Amino acid sequence: MKITFLGAAGEVTGSCHLVEAENLRFLVDCGMFQGGPHERNWRPFGFDPKGIDFVLLTHAHIDHSGLLPRLVAEGFSGKIHTTSATFDLLEVMLPDSAHIQEKEAEWAQKHDPQAKPLYTVEEARESLKQVASEEYDLPFQPHPAVKAVLREAGHILGSAIIELWVEGKKLVFSGDIGQPGFHVVRKPAAVTRADYLLVESTYGDRLHRNLSETIEELVHAIDDTLTRKSGNVIIPAFTVGRSQDILFLLTELYRAGRLPKMNIYVDSPMAYSATAITLKHRELLGRKAEETLEWMNSHRMSIRFVQDVQESIALNEIREGAVIISASGMCDAGRVKHHLKLNLPRPECTVLITGFQAAGTLGRRLVDGASEVRIFGQDVQVRADIYTIGGLSAHADQSGILSWLANFDPPPLKTFIVHGEPSSSMALSEKIAQWPGWETVIPSRGDCFEP
């Protein structure tokens, strides 16, 4: 057996791992590289797509799923196994990703007539025909030589930890592990045994602010902006997971009298679809989310989902009193860039950063304190208040990862630390190394491991 680390190795993007055994080749995730040069997504896969037997997908985020249409277009004909909720999300997210690729190609053709999209909307829809829905905790066989089980990862709706048995060895892929707290989905499931483990390390070098302090900061930022400064609050948010978490949290804080009456606009057609899918899968919601949903069903809040482009443009006329939740979560694409361009120069406004910002993204520059950023080819002064609300992350922090790892008894023979920037992976490795019997490896992209 051999494992090749093709993405999310030394970085937090492009998740893709190739597993090979006798007469068997399969992938765990096939994600797009985000936050860096787009050319990386055009590189050869490092394997022949026609030779891949099947794919196991941990969750729907584009950095884990975004190259599936390209994989299929280049000859992969097997099944893509994932949870039913992830399948529903993919039906929205992959065509949307393809639409972005087509629009970027149209723009590029003004300078290069040969420019083409990474994949088309039609290719994205074709790839969805190969998705097979699996249920949590029910074993299935994607291949006669492989048994698999999907467990709740607690990251976003439908996210999964993957347990695999291949050639008498048990492999566990953590995917993205959720942070227990005020989130829509349930807590991550405990896994107790593995021969070889791949674990994420997005926040492997730090602790999130605790939930009570996070909520205090969130309440202060919104209340100060809406009632004292009379400005707007802009919340860049991932359309799947984070947007729903924020909606439920704002509702709960308003319900508790912690926040004033506010006009909430969710400016993302995909967020509307993702929220509808979340409500479709109520059996996957955590207890707090269920309680909040019951309250929302009998009370009115000013929440408006903005889908039409003209209605989105009209939001630009609102000078105060608006809480605008909009994609993308790292501020690098989508409608949020328009809202940032107009509101960043205004000292009465606030931008709330609620999720991980990869190196090279606009969101990361804001977090790092840039006084000026470039948006749509124009220099934009940053005069608005920038808050980084770390405690709302959908990723476990160092303590959360270690708590999940503590369930393994005995320790895995080898633990591979992936999906983290080098400093995060190294910090987590140093912590784990203090435990008796644990051996860790931090692979680089292209590294292979043969037990």
323 and 409 inside one domain: no
- pLDDT tens for 271-298 read 899 999 999 999 999 888 888 888 988 8
- pLDDT tens for 325-380 read 998 888 887 899 999 999 999 999 999 998 888 788 899 999 999 999 999 989 99
- pLDDT tens for 39-90 read 889 999 999 999 999 999 999 999 999 999 999 999 999 999 999 999 999 9
- pLDDT tens for 220-235 read 999 999 999 999 999 9
Residue 297's pLDDT is what? Answer: 81
| 369 located within any domain | yes
52 and 65 inside one domain: yes
Q: How confident is the model at residue 399 (pLDDT cuts 50, 70, 90)?
A: very high
* Cα 294 to Cα 255, 273, 290, 311, distances in angstroms: 12, 20, 6, 29
Residue 209's pLDDT is what? Answer: 85
301 and 349 inside one domain: yes
| 403 located within any domain | yes
Rounded Cα–Cα distance for residues 140 and 128 (Å): 20
Which residue has 């309440």 as its token pair?
219
Query: Looking at the predicted structure, is the pLDDT value of residue 320 above 80?
Result: yes
| 142 located within any domain | no
Q: How do 263-267 and 322-326 pair as beta strands?
A: parallel
- Residue where one domain finishes, among candidates 366, 392, 418: 392
Residue 104's pLDDT is what? Answer: 86
- Residue where one domain finishes, among candidates 373, 392, 411: 392
pLDDT, average across residues 385-396 = 88
31 and 98 inside one domain: yes
List the beta strands (DSSP E) in 93-145: 131-134, 140-143
| 183 located within any domain | yes
Query: Looking at the predicted structure, is the pLDDT value of residue 182 above 70?
Result: no
| 147 located within any domain | no
| 344 located within any domain | yes
Helix (H) or strand (E) holding 17: strand 16-21
pLDDT, average across residues 164-178 = 97
388 and 430 inside one domain: no
* Number of domains within the chain: 2
285 and 383 inside one domain: yes
DSSP one-letter string for 248-312 = HHHHHHHHTT-S---EEEEE-HHHHHHHHHHHHTGGGB-HHHHHHHHHHHHS---EEEE-SHHHH
User: Is there a contact between 401 and 428 (Cβ–Cβ < 8 Å)?
Assistant: yes
Residue 36's pLDDT is what? Answer: 67
Residue 191 per-residue DSSP state? -
What is the extent of the structural domain holding 190?
A: 2-136+156-206+394-449
User: Is there a contact between 250 and 292 (Cβ–Cβ < 8 Å)?
Assistant: no
84 and 221 inside one domain: no
DSSP one-letter string for 360-386 = TSHHHHHHTT-SEEEETTEEEE--SEE
Residue 100's pLDDT is what? Answer: 86
- pLDDT tens for 408-428 read 999 999 999 999 999 999 999
237 and 335 inside one domain: yes
Rounded Cα–Cα distance for residues 51 and 41 (Å): 20
Query: Looking at the predicted structure, is the pLDDT value of residue 37 above 70?
Result: no
421 and 379 inside one domain: no
288 and 376 inside one domain: yes
Rounded Cα–Cα distance for residues 266 and 202 (Å): 27
- CATH number, domain at 295? 3.40.50.10890
